[in-house]
A and B are shown apart, each in its own frame.
Chain A
Amino acid sequence: MADKPNWQKVFKQEFHVVNGVKTAVLRAGHGDPLVFFHGGGIFHGFDFAVPWTEHFDVVIPYHPGFGDSGDIPDLGDMHDYVLHYLELFDQLGFPGKIRLVGFSMGGWMAAEFAMEHRRRVEKLVLIAPAGLRVQEHPGEDLFRIPPEQMPSYLVHDLNVILPHLPKEPDADFLAARYRESTTLARIMWEKPFSIRMQQWLFRINVPTLIVWGENDRILPVAQSQSWAKLIGGAVVKTFSKAGHLVLDESTTAVRAVSDFLT
């Protein structure tokens, strides 16, 4: 990796302290705030978010337990993150509504946030969100996937993520992934979904876009219909030749997000 990836040149990292927890926030661009909740692994970076900075003040916080953010000592469920972000948004001076985009585990987080605090959300984009129990189309249990097989689960075209993976065994890389999976375990070892979403997703009454890669091997694209059924008026867009990391694999998907939010 000779060259810094593009997103590292564009985004500036700032730090906030949220209820005692150091929180790293990537930020770039101007306009209305667009908050992106990342998924359960951040090794593939945020190149996909660069085009959004042309239209929005793009804010990408590292969730506690990821990247340069600290840990929430007693992290126990998704609600801890909802509270963390209510507090961070107050600190960032977002009194009004935000455009909220969440991917995978971050999609689950965004959905819970919007379901509970719909008045703080202008528009919502859920990208291959986790967290819904869909018995007809069950997702793969992340913890069952051996690390060496994970890349092929994440993408349709392996070339998309090879540059982000170490070529030799790398203890730092492995330890960073171990920290992430430890954080995920605190949220979803017992069950990788939140049963209350079935009951309460109807409360999301803001314009919602659901984005999915048609070749998603972790959360099957058919789950998009269950989300659409529960969130009134939600629009579903699926993208061909794209796996779970749909934003990394499809520039059309990236554009669809900003078009929807504009």
Chain B
Amino acid sequence: MDDLKFYFMHFMPYPYLPADFANHDKWPSAWVDFSNSFYQPERGRELYERYIGEMVLADQLGYDGVVVNEHHNSPYSMMAACPLIAAAMVPQVKRAKICLWGVPINLELPNRLAEEYAILDVMSGGRVEVAIPLGTGMEYWANPINPATARERMREAIAVMLQAWTADGPTRFSGKYFNYRYLNPWPRPLQKPHPKVYLVGIGSPETIELAAELGLGYSVVFAPIEAQLKTFERLRELSAARGHAVKPSDTPIGVMAYVADTEAEAEREFKPHVGYFFENLLRTSPRFLAPPGYVGLEQFHARASSGHDKAHGHFDWNSATQHSRIIAGTPERVAETIAHWADEANSSTIVCHLHLGDMPHWKTVKNLTLFAEQVIPRLRGKVALRAGAVPEESVLPLGK
């Protein structure tokens, strides 16, 4: 049975926004066209050193993994090329998994991405895990890739990457978007057949289908808990129909958590930074979220009818803590809550957002430490998850 695993995920934001950023009319978006003239490299340098240090601390405190991801044209993330951040961590993060969740595969040539991840896997001694996002709508405004064909292209790019990792080269690949005469990347990953791969997204039907078809895991982000649970249910159904078992480790869940001696202290210390994250760093426009063709017409219509997109850039603590996995409290309470979330999602990988927004270093260190020393021990070995439905041939009694 899978025991719970705790990954520390960092968004590495650039938290120095204009003083009047609360003015939504003046600053409608922190993405795509929010000017990079506000970026000061000197501050960037300090932040990289600090943030990578926090990842190293997580490794030393016993977290099972550290997670980076990638976004473009935004202070939301300073990891526009996340394999570089991962490479910087390899010599310092000595035992935890190094998770890249990850490069939107459409933004790179798939053979090159296969190479970059293989290099990291070899350098780290087989500690790489990969999640493949389609990328937010915003990435398609920032990069010259067609959003209208993005899903089809992603499907093909994943096929290239898996072929590059699993088949002895040189092989050929003849697709609509990619034609390889000699697919033969050096090096190949250390883990066999390849590092663990998930898809990651907001739960669009096309991506769930693809994950089920390929037998990959799936992580849902930025969706209310109920929607995430439905997505996992759907993934399990579709995967079973294709003979794939979904293990508890295939469906990571994200948790924003803050630990303190009292609930009041935890909430007081956490709230402003969660608010900063949702109100400022996530602020974007419906147009940027859905470039042409990025979502299906039905889904677009549903979003336009529900006002779904207006949720970006607004934050209400009570509503957020009700619908999302956000918890601030004593170690007991945080542990109990996470146990419940893991159980209801049947997920063994807990992706912990223990730094958010403009949280200062001291709070991050305190939170990382308390969580590691007082929450994780309350959970390891304590949550019984259900094994995935295993395809029949693998449960035949021995000797048959």
Q: List chain A positions with a Cβ less than 8 A from chain B.
A: 143, 146-147, 169, 171-172, 174-175, 178-179, 181-182, 184-186, 189-190
Contacts and interface: CB of A to CB of B under 8 A. Distances in A.
Contacts of B146: 185-186, 189-190
Interface residues of B, number: 16
B292 A171 contact: no
Interface stretch (B75-83, B252-260, B266-274, B299-307): B299-307
B155 to A, nearest CB: 14
Contact of A171 (B290, B291, B304): B304
Contacts of B148: 182, 185-186, 189
Contacts of B149: 186
B112 interface: no
Contacts of A172: 301
Given A146-B287, A147-B287, A186 B304 contact: no
A174 B290 CA distance: 12
B304 A182 contact: no
B292 A184 contact: yes
B219 to A, nearest CB: 27
Interface of B: 144, 146-149, 285, 287, 290-293, 297, 300-301, 304-305
A169 B147 CA distance: 25
Contacts of A182: 148, 292-293, 297
A185 B293 contact: yes
A189 B300 contact: no
A189 B141 CA distance: 10
A182 B291 CA distance: 8
A174 B301 CA distance: 8
A22 to B, nearest CB: 16
Contacts of B290: 178
B297 A175 contact: yes
Contacts of B292: 143, 178, 181-182, 184-185, 189
Contacts of B305: 171
Contacts of A184: 292
A179 B300 CA distance: 9
Nearest to A182: B293
25 contacts: A143-B291, A143-B292, A146-B285, A146-B287, A169-B304, A171-B305, A174-B300, A175-B301, A178-B290, A178-B292, A178-B304, A181-B292, A181-B293, A182-B148, A182-B292, A182-B293, A182-B297, A185-B146, A185-B147, A185-B291, A185-B292, A186-B293, A189-B146, A189-B147, A189-B148
